[in-house]
Structure 1
């Protein structure tokens, strides 16, 4: 009886030690089904995903495919264009129009951004004073932004007409001879820059004005108590606190200005003698402006614009991350 009891105690102790050394396996977890909230989230996300795939991803893919193949009208319809790799890009870089178009694109973008931002910031600071007619004048300044681009470009074409334009009429009234705004290689690029600046100022005004509204008035009061004048308050308070808003304003303005086509095409068609040709108008001319369209080189020029916009977008994202970490 004692031996049996000892044996059972020994087995019980062995079982306890084994249980302590090797715990029993955890029960298998059941696969959880999506909840109604998750299904609702996917439902809201699906339209955006479909929209981005159809109107962004697929066009970018088609444009990249066009730039890597030798497409003609026949092969564009039948879809049997041979693969040529980077031949279209080499053709674009070797084209004599490439260098002038690059310079014009850089000048057009830089000058437009500088004047749009400077004028928009000045108007935003002016309207931030909240005088009696502030809201009415702000609404009037939005008119160029609300008009269709074809209307704005056509209006500027009429105003800058060499023979019957109101600008030359005003110059003649003060004793200055007529200027061939749209037909002279020396003035055509300046003409489209003036029109695009006029169209882009309201966007900068709206965004920068909203940024000014978020700056506490107590900061200006403290700066005034410390003896800062209006210019010092602008440099020490307004401009530094507007940097995040300024960055996104300049980035969006850059992307918009790089792809400006309709204003230039309606006013000058990139001429005369390619004096106002940019990458946007050149891409259109290659793809659709000839009897024998060059779809591949035209798509290659368009992809160059996409790469430039993407590079500046990545620079902006990286800058924002550094500011957030600091």
Structure 2
């Protein structure tokens, strides 16, 4: 019995030995590739943005600063041997008799446009916030001025305000009002471009402020109504205070955009007549490109003044955003 009982054990041992010898050797572990470094991936994503900023922002800004610090003529602009003059171009700009009126027009144009764009945009946003039947359709129609190219909008306003064939004078004459030389009178040219720019900027304020109204809980209005507050009290005590963060961003962005408005003014009046609607933006263009003998240096200096003003208000915008993020 011992002999018969030991046979399976021997066979099983032989079978295990044979399987061990017949089995192929284990394959070596495959080498795994290391994943790309997160730092290299981050630089890969940042490279296109960095290249874009350098080519289209940093380099033009450097060239503009260089233009304002040298005495460039047409020949030296091509050959690149303009002498260094320091701050002489800025002194010429400050001593120019156009500086005072251009500064005044820039401030008046910017402030009046901001006030009316914000006031009209806020009124329309509150009106459309009531959600009546045609609210969406009318709100979409108010976006048309914002979607049109600026050259189309400015050309349309030039035709409407034309002294002889404009529809504005035609309608005013129908009710017995004398025609106005909107674009050719020094007393009305700045008003004309302000009206056109307000019409173009209202949709932006409407969209931003309307989106801010969507974040205000309706329960606040319901509670105020139960307490007996009328519509004006609900607006002044609830809507306006809660819209302050959105209003600050809207006004700061509008300020930066309005400072550099050039298309509307140049197409409608070209800064005239007699520089009555000249701003820093149009004056910079006139100095650099509007004459047979361009003054590249003073034109660049005026442009840099606009850049500094926009930079100051841009930093204010960033600071307001940081405060909102922390609050």
> Residue in 2 aligned with 1:125?
126
> Residue in 2 aligned with 1:116?
117
> Residue in 2 aligned with 1:244?
245
1-structure distance, mates of 2:313, 2:267: 28
1-structure distance, mates of 2:110, 2:135: 30
2-structure distance, mates of 1:232, 1:165: 42
Q: How does 1:227-306 map to 2 (within 5 A)?
A: 227-306=228-307
- Residues 248, 320 of structure 2: 8 Å contact kept: no
1-structure distance, mates of 2:217, 2:46: 36
Answer yes or no: is 1:191 the counterpart of 2:166: no
Q: CA RMSD in A?
A: 1.5
Cα distance, 1:131 vs. partner?
A: 0.9
> Residue in 1 aligned with 2:207?
206
> Residue in 2 aligned with 1:85?
86
2-structure distance, mates of 1:34, 1:60: 39
**What is the TM-score with the length of structure 2 in the denominator?**
0.87
Q: Secondary structure at the match of 1:164?
A: coil
> Residue in 1 aligned with 2:148?
147
Cα distance, 1:176 vs. partner?
A: 0.4
> Residue in 1 aligned with 2:182?
181
2-structure distance, mates of 1:316, 1:104: 24
> Residue in 2 aligned with 1:16?
none
Runs of at least 5 residues in structure 1 that lack an aligned partner in the other structure: 1-32
Provide, for residues 246-275 of structure 1, a one-character-per-residue CA deviation record: whole Å limited to 9, x for no partner. Answer: 111111111111111111011101000000
Provide, for residues 77-121 of structure 1, a one-character-per-residue CA deviation record: whole Å limited to 9, x for no partner. Answer: 111111111000000000000000000000000000000000001
Cα distance, 1:322 vs. partner?
A: 5.2
> Residue in 2 aligned with 1:42?
43
Provide, for residues 59-84 of structure 1, a one-character-per-residue CA deviation record: whole Å limited to 9, x for no partner. Answer: 11111111011111111111111111
Cα distance, 1:190 vs. partner?
A: 0.1
> Residue in 1 aligned with 2:16?
none
Cα distance, 1:35 vs. partner?
A: 4.2
> Residue in 2 aligned with 1:51?
52
Cα distance, 1:325 vs. partner?
A: 5.8
2-structure distance, mates of 1:302, 1:46: 29
2-structure distance, mates of 1:134, 1:60: 44
> Residue in 1 aligned with 2:107?
106
Provide, for residues 2-27 of structure 1, a one-character-per-residue CA deviation record: whole Å limited to 9, x for no partner. Answer: xxxxxxxxxxxxxxxxxxxxxxxxxx
Residues 45 and 195 from structure 1, CA distance in 2 versus in 1: closer, same or farther, beyond 3 angstroms?
A: same
State the 4+ residue runs in structure 1 displaced beyond 3 angstroms. Answer: 33-38, 316-326
> Residue in 2 aligned with 1:3?
none
The answer to which of 185-194 and 241-250 deviates more is: 241-250
> Residue in 1 aligned with 2:75?
74
2-structure distance, mates of 1:298, 1:252: 25
The answer to which of 100-109 and 37-46 deviates more is: 37-46
Cα distance, 1:202 vs. partner?
A: 0.5
Q: How many residues align?
A: 294
